[in-house]
Chains A and B, each alone.
Chain A
Amino acid sequence: MPPPRGRSNRERTGVSLLKLPFLVALALAIAFSGGIASSRYALDHVRRFDALKIGPWEAWPDLQTVRADPYELAYRAREGRILLGEAEGLAFTATTDSDGEGLSGRCRYIIAGTTPAARLWTLRVADRQGRPFATRTDVLPRALHSHDVLRDSEGSFRILVSREAQAGNWIALDHAGPVEFVLTLFDTPAAGNAGLIKLAMPTIRRIGCGDA
């Protein structure tokens, strides 16, 4: 004699009744978590995939223009900064040295070479939000400008970034955590550059960390 089929049918309907809400919930969870996570990732990494890159230096010549893409527009709105216009200048940021290692506030670096043509440039150390470590009146040099920098006979410079003071070009850096270097070129043809000019930026070499 076969077992009564009514009960097993009812069980099966019960399972599929639970299955549909589960599948809907799964689809919604993937949609929202995936959408939010990918947007956050894109906004945090947008600099990496749409920048003018020269060695470790990155700049964003289109960020303040109408040519900015939707990711740049979102980044710009979220950051809420006042940006440099094309005729004003162009800011390059480095978060790694020339070997691709992240810049640390406890290491010593040598920034050497030349910059693209500009009327004036400034080089400063900052935290990863671009904020300086001290006020303008601080006794230690936290930044240098092109009229202040000593150069060799061929016009290239060599700047030491370290905690200990040093003769020659020196920027003070002593910070627990990751840092960035910001090189801003003022009145430069590089700002309107569409890859026509070969741009040379200085290299960043790490020469040691900590007290060693």
Chain B
Amino acid sequence: MRSLVLAIAIGLVGAAIVHVAIIMGIPDLAPRTAWARVSEFGAAGRFRELTETGKSSSGLAEMNPFLRSAVCVFDATDAPIHVSDEGAPPFWSLSVFDPQSNEVFSMNDRSAVERRVDLTLATSTQMTAISRAKPETPSKSILVELPQPSGYVVLRTIAEDATWDRTASRFLSSAECAPLALP
């Protein structure tokens, strides 16, 4: 009887260990993380608009019918990434995520200079280089320090009804996230 109780107790301790191992292991082992899905787009230097639910192969979709989202995967190992867009719709917002999908930076048009998308993503070594070459770099651009060289940017805007669709998709397709030539 005592050994049965002992076996159950050992089993419960083991269950706790298995529980912790599963919870801690999922972020590294899950096959369909957001990063794995956006990586299929490749680091193309351009934003790719997310489709409606049921129309995408990657499993990523914009489920809010009024929201239009586009994703750009970047790799700033060789050069900082300049995220920019000519348009300025009534509302836009963007977030920068690292490969673990932690938010690195987020903003919306109200916090932007002249409501334009213009930011430079740089690693800490590139930040030093940029601040040394300060006069030549566009000073309006918001500098964001990246904890890791790669990640993804999500740019969103609102399309309140069908008449806004073209404005929204033109804004998203004109956005760039290309490597910046360092002086």
Instruction: Name 17 A/B residue pairs within 8 A (Cβ), A-sorted.
Output: A23-B3, A30-B8, A34-B12, A38-B15, A39-B18, A74-B30, A76-B101, A77-B27, A77-B33, A77-B101, A85-B103, A85-B107, A87-B93, A87-B106, A119-B110, A136-B65, A187-B110
Residue in chain B with minimal CB distance to A38: B19
Contact check: which of A35, A81, A88 meets B17 at CB < 8 Å? Answer: A35
A27–B9 Cα distance when bound, in Å, is 8
Q: Within residues 20 to 51 of chain A, which ones have a CB less than 8 A from any CB in chain B?
A: 23-24, 26-36, 38-39, 42-43
**CA gap between A42 and B19 in the complex, in Å:** 9
State A143–B61 Cα separation when bound (angstroms).
17
Which A residues are CB-close (under 8 A) to B11?
26-31, 34
B8:A26 contact, CB within 8 angstroms = yes
A175 proximal to B (CB < 8 A): no
Closest to B101 in A: A76
Chain A residues near B34: list those with CB within 8 A. 76, 80-83
Could you tell me the distance between the alpha carbons of A70 and B25 in the complex, rounded to whole angstroms? 10
Kindly state the interface size class of chain B when it binds its partner: 35 or more
Please give, as numbers and ranges, the residues of chain B lying within 8 Å of A98 by CB-CB distance.
none
Q: Does B53 contact A (CB under 8 A)?
A: yes
B27-A132 in contact (CB<8A): no
Q: Are B64 and A34 in contact (CB under 8 A)?
A: no
Q: How far is A26 from B64 in the complex, measured between Cα atoms in Å?
A: 48
Whether, in the assembled complex, A84 has its beta carbon less than 8 Å from a beta carbon of chain B, the answer is yes
Contact pick for B60, options A82, A124, A130, CB 8 Å? A82
A126 proximal to B (CB < 8 A) = yes
A147: CB under 8 A from chain B?
yes
A interface list, Cβ under 8 A from B = 19, 23-24, 26-36, 38-39, 42-43, 64-66, 68, 70-71, 73-74, 76-78, 80-89, 119-120, 122, 124, 126, 130-132, 135-137, 142-143, 145, 147-148, 182, 184, 186-187
Of all A-B residue pairs in the complex, the 5 with the closest CB atoms, nearest first, are: A35-B18, A31-B14, A30-B11, A85-B106, A85-B95
Contacts known (A35-B21, A82-B50); A187 close to B67, Cβ less than 8 A: no
- For B16, list chain A residues within 8 Å (CB): 35
Q: Complex Cα distance A145/B67, Å? A: 10
Shortest Cβ distance from A199 into chain B, in angstroms?
A: 20
The main secondary structure of chain B at its interface with chain A is: mixed
Contacts of A39 in B (CB 8 A): 18-19, 22-23
Residues of A within 8 A of B91 (CB): 119-120, 186-187
Query: Which residues of B (21-77) have their CB < 8 Å from a CB of A?
Result: 21-24, 26-27, 30, 32-34, 36-38, 50, 52-54, 59-61, 63-67, 69, 71
Q: What does DSSP make chain A's interface, helix, strand, loop or mixed?
A: mixed
Known: A35-B21, A81-B60, A131-B53. 17 other contacts (CB 8 A): A31-B12, A31-B15, A35-B18, A38-B15, A64-B101, A70-B23, A73-B100, A82-B34, A82-B97, A85-B95, A87-B93, A87-B108, A119-B91, A135-B52, A142-B65, A186-B91, A186-B93
Interface residue B79 (Cβ < 8 Å from any Cβ of A): no
Q: Within 8 Å CB of A66, what residues of B?
A: 102-103
